[in-house]
Amino acid sequence: MSESTTAPPELGDYAIEVRSKNAGPFWVTMETFMRDAAGYAIAADDTFLNEQVIANLYKVDAAQVQIFRIPALNVVKISFPRPVTQASLRDRDIHAGQHHVPLATLRVPSRHLTADA
């Protein structure tokens, strides 16, 4: 008999929306709109989501990552310099509309798991 295994939930499983967009030609902003306070607690936990995690995901300098935690809205906003200037020759996503995918698919550690995911 084989045991059924499921992948751990991703940050996006706890969110209404995870999105990214330009913040001018030199910066990207990502926002996690969490479903509730429990989801926000996961996204806002700086032992789970911090500047170094973002730096590793996006290959940017952790010192330049800015994270804004907004508990009244259940939102975490993250900004960092674009890897290339918007609309430059090597820009592959002129609107930064796909930059959120690595963040949304970030696996949630087991210490945060609930039946609500």
Say what the pLDDT of residue 114 is. Answer: 58
Say what the pLDDT of residue 111 is. Answer: 80
pLDDT per residue, tens digit, the chain (117 aa), is 445 567 889 999 999 999 999 888 989 999 999 999 999 999 999 999 999 999 999 999 999 999 999 999 999 999 999 888 887 787 777 777 888 999 999 999 888 775 444
Say what the pLDDT of residue 91 is. Answer: 72
Say what the pLDDT of residue 3 is. Answer: 52
> In this structure, what token pair is assigned to residue 59?
């290959």
Say what the pLDDT of residue 48 is. Answer: 96
Q: How many residues does the chain have?
A: 117
Alpha-carbon gap, residue 113 to 35, rounded angstroms: 15
Q: Is 102 exposed, middle or buried (0-12, 13-18, 19+ CB in 10 A)?
A: middle
Say what the pLDDT of residue 19 is. Answer: 97
**């001018």: which residue's tokens?**
24
- Terminal alpha carbon distance of the chain: 27
pTM for the structure as a whole: 0.85
